[in-house]
Amino acid sequence: MDVYKEQNVVRAQTANDRFAKAAIFVIGFIVCFAVFFLTAQFGVAGLGLLLSGGVLYASYRVTTGFDNEYEYLLTNGEMDFDKIIAQRSRKRLITVKLDTAKEFAEFTENTELDTSASIVSADDNTGENVWYLRVDHKELGDTYVLFTPNEDMRELMIKFFPRQLQAELRRQG
């Protein structure tokens, strides 16, 4: 039986993200008006209007680039983690084979990660319900993936873990 499960998680905006978006928007408008008025003084207002539109469009593209979400896709023991930027582009963060999993647990303040391992962050940025998956990745080596799976996703994932890890998770609760 084939297993296919998809979950999307929207990354929460931080105060720094909101400040950066507002600053880019304000700077974009200031540059837009400055370009328009400078070109208007030299008698090329049409060019100024075109350049101002370009500045506004660039500001829009940069500010919407802060609107990210993550997609977790589980297909028959292989899990893909993608980053979706402003619903216009997608970037594959990592693909892991769940049969290489070494650890799977909830990530808390007290969780200590091996500092020599690679870390891939694909969580919702709220700090709640964050889990980590430690795998042996073919390119990155020992890797932690931080993400925010729902209960259905966690239950499906566990079925593909090595038997030893499955037994350990059952003992824990």
Q: What is the residue-averaged pLDDT of the chain?
A: 93
Q: Are residues 44 and 105 in the same domain?
A: no
CA 136 to chain centre: 21
The angle subtended at Cα 104 by Cα 150 and Cα 90, nearest 5°, is 55
Q: Are residues 72 and 138 in the same domain?
A: yes
> Domain range holding 126?
4-11+68-172
Q: Are 153 and 74 in contact (CB under 8 A)?
A: yes
Global confidence as pTM = 0.86
Mean pLDDT per block of 10 residues along the chain (173 residues) reads: 91 94 95 89 86 93 94 96 95 96 93 92 94 94 96 95 92 79
Q: 95-128: b or e for each residue (b if 16 or more CB lie within 10 Å)?
A: ebebebbbebeebeeeeeeeeebeebbbbbbeee
Report pLDDT for 1: 66
3-state secondary structure of 88: coil
